[in-house]
Structure 1
Amino acid sequence: MGMGRVYRETSKPSSSSSPSSPPLTTSTSVTDTVNGSHQFKITGYSLSKGIGIGKYIASDTFLVGGHSWAIYFYPDGKSAEDNAAYVSLFIALASEGTDVRALFELTLLDQGGKERHKVHSHFGRALESGPYSLKYRGSMWGYKRFFKRTLLETSDYLKDDCLSVHCSVGVVRSHTQGPKNYSIPIPPSDIGHHLGQLLESGKGTDVYFEVDGEIFAAHKLVLAARSPVFRAQLFGPMKDQNTHLIKVEDMEASVFKALLHFIYWDAMPDMEDLSCLNSKWASTLMSQHLLAASDRYGLDRLRLLCEANLCEDVAINTVATTLALAEQHHCFQLKSVCLKFVALPENLGGEFSLIKFSFH
């Protein structure tokens, strides 16, 4: 009876236990390569000829991925049965190791300045065949018929009786990353919010703009950091004589206000609030003006945002001016959208025939 009571008590969930699923844990297996390279210069090539089939000239050993490697060059070929008319080139594991997996590339460098190197690479074929496995010390990867000897001796690979070989090795390594023992939520960047509040507070302003009778205060460093045009105007060698008060011509005050809003907040302002009109047409009109202003001051992201907005809002009463803007400011997608809109059967004829002739 006692055992029965224990069983029932342990199998029944407590009233304080959570009905939700157990917490999810994760782990990740990471496989990558440790890369390294070695350049091996072979001088006195002509004197090495006749060394004998199967005999090699070895580079010094070099370390990649915790293993030692060496380049083996066979002037008379590695083996007679594979045609001794070729020179052979190999990369060898020079330290103890078992099932060392690696990618290789052997390159005979063109010394004539034409960059026509002779490359044999396993890196590019890794997706098809995977890395090459070396089972023990002395295991090799390479080519018995790397280059025909008669062709080599009349090529730009041989200069001043010297050859230059470049070898790249990528040793494959794998490890598993266990679950993290912490969870720290990272909030999104708020630098735009802080800069926006700086603009609204007016603290530290050191430059003023007069636009259509209104005065706007700003910070030179912020403007220069965001716009190459402002940077040249305020700090460049041809900077304006008076950088305390700058008069901006051919722009409405509301458009310049929207421009400053984006520069500081890194976000589009409310178009209807700026235009003081609650209509889609007013929003389109502001986007048109802001597109031109963004191009004028080199604000590429703002220009693309305006272009995207205008692509969404093509209408009969605004398409003509939008198309003209797209042509003037090289907005190719916006131009395409406008022309497709004009070509719709319900929009053909009338005032749109003028657009066709203008942009044919």
Structure 2
Amino acid sequence: MSTAGAEQLNPDSVSITVMESVNGSHQFTIKGFSLAKGMSPGKFIQSDVFSIGGYDWAIYFYPDGKNPEDNSLYVSLFIALASDSSDVRALFELTLMDQSGKEQHKVHSHFDRALEGGPYTLKYKGSMWGYKRFLKRTSLEGSDFLKDDCLIVNCTVGVVRARLEGPKHYGIVLPPSNMGQGLKELLDSELGCDVAFQVGDETYRAHKLILAARSPVFRAQFYGPIGDNNVDRILIEDIEPSIFKAMLSFIYTDVLPDVHEITGSASSSSFTNMIQHLLAAADLYDLGRLKMLCEVFLCEKLNVDNVATTLALAEQHQFLQLKAFCLKFVASPGNLRAVMKSEGFKHLKQSCPSLMSELLNTVAAADKSSASGQSNKKRSVSSVLGCDTSNANVRQVRRRA
């Protein structure tokens, strides 16, 4: 290899120029728009001067148009450079805001589209970019752009600049956050703990302030109007010890705990069962992030053996997204019969009979979608589920199916 080639592959120094745009926006409101009629072409209403990317700018609105030859048929809209500068390259966007809430704005933009000639260059103070025929006056006066005789214009400017990145000879490596680890060590060591929880045969010590910071329920229990900050021991009767321990671990770390480690079991079914109970505990203590983590896990691990118990849990605690996911899973033609044979489904029919009607609707909707174009192939939804169809709602679903 030649010496020149080696130098190209292994340079002694490097630098990078980054072309970028510094963006900012300004909103200009014109009140009493009707009073601006008859100003004559070439006369304008100007916004206040605003700064973006190190330069000053102003919006110019011409109620009777900028050109006399247009006979006041159009309104004109421009953005102008207000700084004493030259050759400023920028991207622009001028928007006439739809005030009806439909978001049908009138937009002219450089952004998010290919630029054949590159950014626009403003050569001196007072240079403008915009449209002489931005919109017909008749279209404007009968539109949703006007509300209560008020007009709103939004302008976005992206000033183009070159930024040189030279070689970095030194740097400081930022370590990852270890706050959760520190708090967990505080929990494990019981240092400074001021409350104990008796859960079955186990006792777990914790810190009231940390619990109150993470759970609105604990906050009310310790520091609410009817709470007791002096309590130092609490009996927990409706949660298993391992579940409560897992919940405490999350409160201190903000991470879904290693349930395998807590339970000492590698069984997938026992893992899922514990997450179900952890979800119920998270709901009891209003731990929003833990609820979401548990729901995501249960959706990912959903199968014909656990969907019925998961659906019952979702119905009992009104986890609507998890419930909808379970219903669609059960209604799938490949899953329905297998789910019906599970022990969990028998329990579901007894504990949540109202769910059968919703499940019928979901199955009927799936049937209608999959049977499109197959009118000769029919099945009775109610007979598949083995449900009583005397209910009027079920009869209606059966007729649609």
The TM-score with structure 2 as length reference comes to 0.65
Moved more, 248-257 or 281-290: 281-290
Q: Determine the structure 1 residue equivalent to 2:384.
A: none
Deviations 1:299-343 (A, max 9, x none): 233334434444565577655433322332322376258636992
- Residue 200 of structure 1 corresponds to 188
2:49 is equivalent to residue 29 of structure 1: no
State whether structure 2 residue 55 is matched by structure 1 residue 79: no
Aligned to 1:332: 323
Identify the match of residue 187 of structure 1 among 150, 170, 175. 175
2:127 maps to 1:139: yes
Are residue 303 (structure 1) and residue 291 (structure 2) matched?
Answer: yes
Counterparts of 1:80 and 1:334 in 2: how far apart (Å)?
Answer: 64
Q: 3-state DSSP class of the match of 1:324? A: helix
How far, CA to CA, are the matches of 1:43 and 1:194 in structure 2? Answer: 61
Secondary structure class of the residue paired with 1:192: helix
Equivalences for 1:166-181 in 2 at 5 Å?
166=153, 168-178=155-165, 179-181=167-169
RMSD (Å), alpha carbons = 4.5
In the aligned structure 2, how far is the partner of 1:29 from the partner of 1:39? Answer: 32
**Relative to structure 1, is the Cα distance of residues 349 and 132 closer, same or farther in structure 2, using a 3 angstrom cutoff?**
same
Aligned residue for 2:108?
A: 122
For 1:227 and 1:135, the matched residues in 2 are separated by 59
Gaps of 5+ in 1: 1-9, 14-20
For 2:108, give the aligned amino acid: H
Q: What is the SS of the residue equivalent to 1:128?
A: coil
Q: Letter of the 1:33 partner, please give it.
A: V
Q: Distance in 1 between matches of 2:178 and 2:329?
A: 36
Distance of aligned partners of 1:220 and 1:24 in 2 relative to their CA distance in 1, 3 Å threshold: farther
Change (3 A) 1:60 1:312: closer
Shift of 1:220: 0.8
Please tell me the residue identity of whatever aligns with 1:174.
R
* Cα 1:194–1:133 shift into 2, 3 Å: same
CA contact (8 A) 2:17 2:164 kept: yes
Shift of 1:197: 0.9
Give yes or no for contact 2:88–2:159 (8 Å, CA) kept in 1: no
Q: Look up the SS of the partner of 1:126 in the other structure.
A: coil
Unaligned runs of 5+ in 2: 357-401
SS of equivalent to 2:113 = helix
* Deviation at residue 282 of structure 1 after TM alignment: 3.5
1:16 alignment counterpart: none
Question: Quick one: distance in 1 between partners of 2:65 and 2:272?
Answer: 75
The alpha-carbon distance between structure 1 residues 152 and 310, as it changes in their structure 2 partners (threshold 3 A), is closer
Question: Following the alignment from structure 2 to structure 1, what is the Cα–Cα distance between the partners of residues 340 and 98?
Answer: 64
Q: In the alignment, which of 53, 70, 82 is matched to residue 65 of structure 1? A: 53
In 2, the alpha carbon distance for the partners of 1:254 and 1:47 equals: 73
The CA distance in 2 between the partners of 1:284 and 1:150, in whole Å, is: 65
Identity of aligned residues (%): 42
d(CA) in 1 for partners of 2:302 and 2:97? 60
* 8 Å CA contact 1:108, 1:163 repeated in 2: no
The two structures have a TM-score, normalised by structure 1, of 0.71
Residues 272, 298 of structure 2: 8 Å contact kept: yes
More relative contact order, 1 or 2 (CA 8 Å, 6+ apart) = 1
Give the whole-Å Cα distance in 2 for the aligned partners of 1:306 and 1:341.
Answer: 26
Alignment match, 1:5: none
Cα 1:75–1:253 change in 2 (3 A) is closer
What's the secondary structure of 1:97's corresponding residue?
A: coil
Describe the shift of the 1:177–1:191 C-alpha distance in structure 2 as closer, same or farther (beyond 3 A).
farther
1:354 is aligned, of 346, 352, 375, to 346
Q: In structure 2, the residue corresponding to 1:127 is in which secondary structure?
A: coil
Contact 2:195 2:205 in 1 (8 A): yes
SS in 2 for 1:225: helix
> How many Å separate the matches in 1 of 2:300 and 2:102?
51
* 1:232-256 CA distance string (max 9 Å, x none): 2222223247632222221222221
**For the residues of structure 2 that align with 1:282 and 1:134, how far apart are their CA atoms?**
69
Letter in 1 for 2:128: M
Comparing 304-313 and 324-333, the one that deviates more? 304-313
Answer whether contact 2:306 2:344 (CA < 8 A) is retained: no
- In the alignment, the residues of structure 1 paired with residue 333 and residue 264 of structure 2 have an alpha-carbon distance, to the nearest angstrom, of 28
Greater share of residues in helix: 2
Please tell me whether the aligned partners of residues 98 and 106 of structure 2 are also in contact (alpha carbons under 8 angstroms): no
> Alignment partner of 1:181: what SS?
coil
